[in-house]
Amino acid sequence: MDPPVDGSESSTASPVTEAALVLADPEEDPAYQVFIDSLSYLPPEEVDCVREAYRFSEHAHRGQKRLSGEPYITHPLAVAGAIAEWQMDVEGVVAALLHDVMEDTRVGKSEIAERFGKPVADLVDGLSKLDKIEFQSHEEAQAENFRKMLMAMARDLRVVLIKLADRHHNLQTMAAVRADKRRRIARETLEIYAPIAGRLGLNNMFRELQDLSFKLIYPMRARVLARALKAARGNRRELLSRILDGINGRLQEANVEARVFGREKSLYSIYRKMLDKRLSFSQVLDVYGFRVLVKDVPTAYLALGALHGLYKPVPGKFKDYIAIPKPNGYQSLHTTLIGPHGTPFELQIRTEAMETVAQEGIASHWLYKDSETLGADLQQKTTKWFHSLLDLQSASGNSSEFLEHVKVDLFPHEIYVFTPKGKIIALPRGATAVDLAYAVHTDIGNHCVAAQVNFKPQPLLAELTNGDRVEIVTAADAHPNLAWLSVVRTGRARSKIRHYLKSVQHDESTALGEKMLDQELRALGVAASDLPVSSWKNVLRDSGNKLIKEVYTDIGLGFRLAGVVARRLLAREESSPPIEKQPASLVIRGTEGMAVQFAPCCQPIPGDPIIGSLWKGKGLVIHTHDCPAIRKARSVKPTKWIDVEWEPEPGKLFSVRLLVMVHNTLGALGRIATEISRSGTNIEHVNMEDKHPGMYTTLHFTVQVASRTSLARLMRSLRRIPEVVRITRDQGLTA
């Protein structure tokens, strides 16, 4: 699975034969015997199938060694042993034994299918197609490989369990691997594999992957922290025993049968808390906690009441994950209590069944067979999450976007909000009403305009808090805003907004491209409607496009020059002498949308002399003729520039920056803002800078105006204010 970790030598083994299987006798290997003994949950005939799979894998990998010098078979045997601890079905165990044979030997999928069945072959094939993920370089390749991995997991949940067991064993056996590779693989595990384990509820695996990675990335820090934890354990032994005795005594008084034990935070979780909250180890007070396991849900609440009577609870620290489970199926009551000497400690109360799910997550589907609903419900939630990844993949434009969206969804903390119908929706901390709208339905997200949070109007991008009741208000003519991308927190919202904006840009670019081509054809004395069909056939054949609309889109997005396409339609070569044509400018209204963008450097507005520049993938970018930012570019690549002019009455407001120098007197800002408002102009942004303390202040305004004329009118009215010393338009030009 992970060649950089295993470091196996290339195989020269011959195809597996019946004779070879007979010769391979593993019975003397103690590790193999322990593994076979762990399969007591399987029927004898299925154990025999596993024995055959071991012999098959051992022969296929014969001659290969890991970097440690051990025979390669020790790795698949360890992975299969971990899978057996989850009591997975025989197909999963066999696939774990064979997970590297297709990738590292000459064994093919058909041979595995013939000997062990198609389901096993599909599992091994899904695992074998996962290329290694290179971090810190080749970002697009890394993202594409990650996409492949999650798609394989979405097809069969057993893939993710085998993959995590594979990674876990590799991290445990990395002593012979180069230090830089160890750190790279450990970082990859912290970024992707550990969060996936957490998202699937595999908490034991989650914590172990984090701790192993932490020790590989920061070995010295891990050793120092481990020593501090060991010392603290000894120092607090008497206090912890006293708390444990008190809990057991109070539960007995309340006639609550329970199993109580202490628990310790993992090294990595302590390290992250110290790092995030800038604490020393001695300041981390909740290193230790206690867990109470009871027989059923009513008893859990009874135990909570009894223990709240023993130790005072910390306000705001109670969480009921039984009534509202986490998205990964986790259920428990969490409370923080003040123990003896004012020491706070965390208490978790749950049933034995919930404990199984809490530790093994999706693997409890196989472990906890006594419950028909527990494992099935969790598997259904996991399958739903994987299908949401497929949805993200289809909406993402490329692999990098997909990787970004998935990482966002692997959030460690959630809030829970309610819809008007009482449905509970989990969102990442910091999520907005826009995130909720897209979580409910794509159309609601695309058309949302406002939100009612706890029956009060709130901005769409206001941060939601735990327990909020949120109602989304929609409008048929509303659409997503580009600014939302910098605020939303869920991968789904981000991908849907991007998908919509790209679709809109595509449509607008098609219309712009048609307009630009029509202008070029008219300048050459030809109307687009007069062109014969054969002319378009030639252009489509040469360009590789299937539809005329695709040619228009390419022109609008800047991938093709309208002049070149026009000459090709008229069967004229680019090198042919230029035809005398009437000067013509592309007319724009300013309302074309994303296909026409206005340069932020000079912020052109109607009335300014303008020029357009074609950029691949962006379309037409409009500058003022005298914009300082384009002087050099216009002389270097003159063919990229198009004469553009404004159509009268564009019907849109444009942002303009103003610099206003004023006497530093009381109320100056208020009088200027009042005058701007009185003129019917909207202020988008304002700030000030002090260049001459005590004398003058420069105010930076961004206002919205309809045209150059309205801007001039506004500036004249501002000059009449006594405090105004000078006013200029912020584009390097004097107004």
Residue 7: predicted pLDDT: 45
Residue 175 exposed, middle or buried by CB count within 10 Å (0-12, 13-18, 19+): exposed
Distance CA 735, CA 732 (A): 10
- Supply the pLDDT for residue 583: 45
Instruction: Report the predicted TM-score, pTM, of the whole model to 2 decimal places.
Output: 0.59
Cα–Cα distances (Å) from 141 to 20, 130, 131, 192, 666, in that order, read 39, 12, 10, 15, 59
Question: % helix / strand / coil in the chain, to the nearest 5?
Answer: 50, 15, 30
Where do the domains of the chain lie, and which CATH numbers do they carry? 3-220 (1.10.3210.10), 223-368 (3.30.460.10), 381-490 (3.10.20.30), 499-646 (no CATH), 654-729 (3.30.70.260)
Backbone angles phi, psi at 189, to 5 degrees: -65, -45
Strands of the sheet with 448-453, listed across from one edge: 456-458, 448-453, 470-474
- 508 in active site: no
User: Please, are residues 651 and 707 in contact by the beta-carbon 8 Å criterion?
Assistant: no
Q: In sequence order, what are the residues at sequence separation of 6 or more whose Cβ sits closer than 8 angstroms to the Cβ of residue 232?
A: 281, 287
Residues belonging to the chain: 735
Q: Pull the structure tokens for residue 735.
A: 């107004």
Which spans in 574-693 are helix H?
631-636, 668-678
Distance from first CA to last CA of the chain, Å, rounded? 67
Q: Which of 567, 570, 562, 563 is closest to 532 using CA atoms? A: 570
Residues of the chain with pLDDT under 70: 1-28, 129-154, 285-286, 362-414, 505, 542-544, 557-558, 571-595, 614-619, 635-640, 647-652, 690-694, 732-735
pLDDT for 127: 76
The secondary structure of 666-701, three-state, reads CCHHHHHHHHHHHCCCEEEEEEEEEEECCCEEEEEE
Whether 471 is catalytic: no
Query: How far is CA 728 from its chain centroid?
Result: 44
Residue 153 · residue 386 · CB < 8 Å:
yes
Q: Over the stretch 669-702, which tens digit does the pLDDT of each residue have?
A: 888 888 888 887 888 778 877 555 567 788 888 8
Alpha carbons 106 and 14: distance in angstroms, whole number: 8
Instruction: Give the separation between CA 338 and CA 207, rounded to whole angstroms.
Output: 26
> pLDDT tens digits, residue range 340-379?
877 788 899 999 888 887 877 766 555 554 444 455 565 6
Q: What are phi and psi of 16, to 5 degrees?
A: -70, 130
> Hey, CA dihedral for 151, 154, 157, 160, is it positive or negative?
positive
Please tell me which residue in 6, 104, 508, 518 is annotated as part of the active site. 104
Tell me which residue has tokens 């001695």: 282
Q: Which of 46, 89, 103, 264 is catalytic?
A: 103
- What is the Cα–Cα distance from 186 to 171, expressed in whole angstroms? 7
CA dihedral sign, ordered 3, 4, 10, 11: negative
Task: Look up residue 25 and give its two tokens.
Answer: 């006798």
Alpha-carbon gap, residue 680 to 497, rounded angstroms: 32
Helix (H, G, I), strand (E, B) or coil at 416: strand
